[in-house]
């Protein structure tokens, strides 16, 4: 049986302190793309008590996703938005999740993301990443953006890092390791990058803007 909402909030407050707890629970964070990056980012933010998660993806869970993405075998074939919502609410029953099954484009991103305090770019396609980054920086002047580039393969974990590119734009990853025929994505290195993104989001919400 789930604990009550007041027990839940008390436990989070005890861990984070009242100031951080209020900042986390009052925030809305968008996760764009619910693959290896996005599913891990969303779980980390849900555990931290981020008040509202906006999840956006057009795809369904595939058997080839399960080596790195936070889904279960029985969820193969489900929309990622629906499967991840289910998993998140099992972990953290008192967050609010808004899931949108749609493809994000230059034309719809401002409307889809307008309520977000912070947007996480978690796509896997390089052109889609660039489209979202340019779109958010051009169209949403008050929004923070945490993107990712370069986390494929078996290279050392120690090259995954976070840098602040400009005022509202942070970039995580090694910036070079691209997916190719002979170089895939392995769970821990993708999770490292997702953890950089999720932690950067929490730091922004905490008012810590430098890396």
Partner 1 sequence: MVKVNGTELDIAGKTVSEYLAITNYDSKRIAVERNGDIVFKSQYDVTVLENGDSLEIVSFVGGG
* Contacting positions for partner 1 (CB under 8 A): 33, 35-38, 122-127, 129-130, 133-134, 137-138, 147-152, 165-167, 169, 171, 175-179, 185, 190
Return the number of the residue (99 or 152) whose C-beta is nearest partner 1: 152
Return the number of the residue (9 or 110) whose C-beta is nearest partner 1: 110
| CA–CA distances in Å: residue 45 to residues 27, 129, 175 | 10, 21, 23
Return the number of the residue (20 or 30) whose C-beta is nearest partner 1: 30
Contacts of 144 (CB under 8 A, 6+ apart): 117, 118, 119, 168, 169, 170, 201, 204
CB of 56 to partner 1, least distance (A): 14
Return the number of the residue (20 or 201) whose C-beta is nearest partner 1: 201
CB of 140 to partner 1, least distance (A): 11
CB of 120 to partner 1, least distance (A): 10
Q: Are strands 96-100 and 169-173 parallel, antiparallel or unpaired?
A: unpaired
Distance (Å, whole) CA 10 – CA 25: 12
Angle at 41 between CA 38 and CA 46, to 5 degrees: 120
Return the number of the residue (46 or 191) whose C-beta is nearest partner 1: 191
* Residue 85 exposure: Cα atoms within 13 Å on the Cβ side: 16
CA torsion sign, 127 to 137 to 171 to 80? Answer: negative
Return the number of the residue (35 or 49) whose C-beta is nearest partner 1: 35
CB of 72 to partner 1, least distance (A): 20
CB of 17 to partner 1, least distance (A): 32
């Amino acid at each position: 049986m789930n604990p009550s909402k007041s027990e839940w909030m008390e436990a989070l407050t005890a861990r984070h302190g009242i100031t951080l707890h209020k900042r986390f629970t009052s925030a809305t964070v968008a996760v764009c793309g619910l693959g290896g990056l996005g599913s891990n980012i969303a779980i980390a933010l849900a555990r931290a008590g981020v008040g509202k998660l906006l999840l956006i993806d057009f795809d369904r869970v595939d058997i080839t996703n399960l080596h790195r993405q936070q889904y279960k075998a029985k969820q193969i074939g489900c929309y990622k938005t629906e499967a991840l919502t289910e998993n998140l609410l099992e972990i953290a029953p008192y967050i609010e999740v808004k899931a949108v099954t749609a493809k994000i484009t230059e034309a719809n991103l401002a409307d889809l993301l307008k309520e977000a305090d912070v947007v996480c770019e978690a796509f896997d396609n390089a052109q889609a990443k660039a489209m979202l980054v340019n779109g958010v920086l051009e169209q949403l002047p008050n929004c923070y953006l945490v993107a990712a580039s370069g986390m494929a393969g078996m290279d050392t974990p120690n090259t995954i890092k976070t840098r602040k590119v400009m005022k509202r734009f942070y970039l995580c990853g090694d910036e070079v390791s691209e997916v190719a025929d002979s170089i895939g994505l392995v769970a821990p290195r993708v999770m490292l990058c997702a953890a950089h993104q999720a932690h950067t989001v929490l730091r922004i919400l905490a008012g810590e803007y430098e890396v």
